Every structure is written in C-alpha cells, then in structure tokens.
C-alpha cells in the first residue's frame, strides 16, 4: 500500500517569512495529492490539491509543487500570518475513493509574531 512521509514535524517561522513542508510517497499509481489544514480541536479542511498531470498549482499565498519522477510534493506558504498556525497534512490517493487518503504524519506550523 501507499506510504507517505512528511517533514518537518514542527516548523517555526517568523511572521511574514515563507514556510515549506515536504512529502514523499511510495506508490507510483498515486495521482491525487491534497493538503489539509487542521486547527486545534477542529476538522481537517482542504487548502489546496494537485493532480499528477500538473507540476505546480498556486492559490494566492499557497502553492504546491509535484515531482512525479522523484515521488515528492511540497507545500509553500508565503507571507505567513498568525492565522496560518495549525497542523498541516499532506496526503496521497489513487484511482478514486475506494482506498481513501493516505496521510503524512503532519507538520505543526508555528508563526512567531
């Protein structure tokens, strides 16, 4: 089955700086890579996703890159703000909903004022 590794487990950045979170996956059949943000005590919510036919996707301050050959994808947050503080999860999936999402172990992002 799929295995997703995520680094770092904790990331502390100054407000206004950029944050980068990296993930690798093992199953070459995976073709869908979402990123979820989970605030304390809340549900995970999708912030951006990318499919395997695209190398990069951007949505305002958030961007995701995908390298299919190396089997890794990254989340980039620019101009970080206090409300970006949360746990971020990468995930991978293939072939529709049957197998669900395989999540990384999460990155606790701390934005220092």
Positions that interact with another protein (CB under 8 A): 31-32, 34, 38, 42-46, 49, 87, 89, 93-103, 105-106
In contact, 108 and 9? CB cutoff 8 Å: yes
* Torsion (CA) 48, 4, 10, 16 in degrees, nearest 10: -30
- Shortest separation between residue 71's beta carbon and another protein, angstroms: 17
85's CB contacts (< 8 A; 6+ apart) are 109, 110, 111
- Shortest separation between residue 74's beta carbon and another protein, angstroms: 19
Q: Which residue number, 18 or 90, has a Cβ lying nearer to another protein?
A: 90
* Residue found under tokens 């961007």: 63
- Shortest separation between residue 46's beta carbon and another protein, angstroms: 5
């Amino acid at each position: 089955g799929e295995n997703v590794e995520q680094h770092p487990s904790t990331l502390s950045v100054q407000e206004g700086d950029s944050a980068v979170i990296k993930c690798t996956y093992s199953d070459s059949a995976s073709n869908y890579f979402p990123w979820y943000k989970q605030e304390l005590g809340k549900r995970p919510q999708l912030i951006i996703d990318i499919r395997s036919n695209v190398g990069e996707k951007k949505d305002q301050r958030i961007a995701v890159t995908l390298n299919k050959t190396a089997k890794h994808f990254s989340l980039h947050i620019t101009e970080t703000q206090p409300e970006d503080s949360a746990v971020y999860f990468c995930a991978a999936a293939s072939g529709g909903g049957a197998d669900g999402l395989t999540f990384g172990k999460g990155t606790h992002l701390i934005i220092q004022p």
